[in-house]
Structure 1
Amino acid sequence: MKIIGKTFENKKEEIAYLVKHKKEILEFKKAAIKFTDGTIVNTSSNEVSKALHTSKENDTDSVIKRTLIGNTYNWLDSHGDVHLDGTFTKSIKERQNKIWHLHDHEQKITAKIGVPTNIYESKVAWKDLGINKDGETTSLFMDSDIKKDYNALIFQEYKNGNIDQHSVGMYYVKIELAANDEDFEEEFKVWNENIDKVGNKSQAEELGYFWAVKEAKL
């Protein structure tokens, strides 16, 4: 995250500032609604499939069924955040039937474009997401019945396969600072526990720290 109005002589000075003001920064991050990045960037291809499968066999003229990915875990995003495995587990259990499929993050009835039939977390191979990395991560999935009478234009865009990137809005509940500096024992411990799981590890190492999100509310 960029700190407006602050410059630092080196990375240690920047991390020291974050540690000193960690409480205030965390309060701010928890208070604001956060929207995930629309894509994961693969430095070799710059293309990522955000919907692993899109079955069209049950499409009708009024309803189409799609499986969407709204968030991928263990990825350093543009906010300097990394969502850890299980970030939404508690929220999904508590709010499964209270989450809407909206367009452009507009929180109103007229922004509905589909009816979620299932929201869940599932393991996904990094390479299935377009990332040249062995192993797996976790993604947030939503099965949705997209309805023409909600929004005919967006319905047609989905049907034509023109919409394949999705983002979710959330509030952070549990966050920790991870920092690659052994002088900050608590933050260094969080770093060592999670850095090898991060899909874009080299970017995290270049930044020198990240905000490890353990729980968020959809």
Structure 2
Amino acid sequence: MSTYSIKAVIFDMDGVLIDAKDWHYEALNKSLSIFGLEINRHDHLVTFDGLSTGQKLKMLSKTHVLPESLHPFINEMKQQYTMDLTYQLCKPVFHHQYALSKLKDSGYHLAVASNSIRNTVKVMMEKSNLMQYLDFYLSNQDVSKAKPHPEIYNSAINKLGLNPKECIIVEDNENGLKAAKASGAHVLKVDSVDDVVYESIMNFIKSVEEKND
């Protein structure tokens, strides 16, 4: 019989704490448009959602005439466009601040594990005023294999010094969910940033702990 109680909540960022999916989509397409390429909305949602820009470019090079030598330039342009949108649009959201502040006050460890690059995570967490509640954050630059590989979640759990069964991961997209489930932690799936509210997280924690009793 398991006796683990939940001690930490690890959040994905895009689509969970920050409504930035369209920002990444628009920024990458703006960069690709220089070379006459575009990812359509269906492919973005079904195939590319939750992957890093580097992973997306590698996939595009397999199916389009996109030389790999252009990847660094496109990636750099994409990150700049993402930052432009972030500074314009990223703002504090009350129900996220409330949820994280209440969880922190209740003694839970909090972390973010994102497939975005380190600077994007840092700026988005600062602009949304959520950084103050986090123990730490991890980006795709902190691991050798990005989601859907579980390395980033394994790293976060190890950094917390916890057993996977003492952690909840909040995720939204297929690639992130694969990574979260493979880590062995409990996974709370959300459909959008609007689902990330204190009551829902606490209800999930209680349901997990009741099953463990």
Report the TM range for the smaller structure's normalisation: under 0.3
Rg (Cα) greater in structure: 1
- TM-score, length-normalised on structure 2? 0.23
Structure ranking higher in strand proportion: 1
Q: Which structure is higher in RCO with an 8 Å CA cutoff and minimum separation 6?
A: 2
- TM-score, length-normalised on structure 1? 0.22
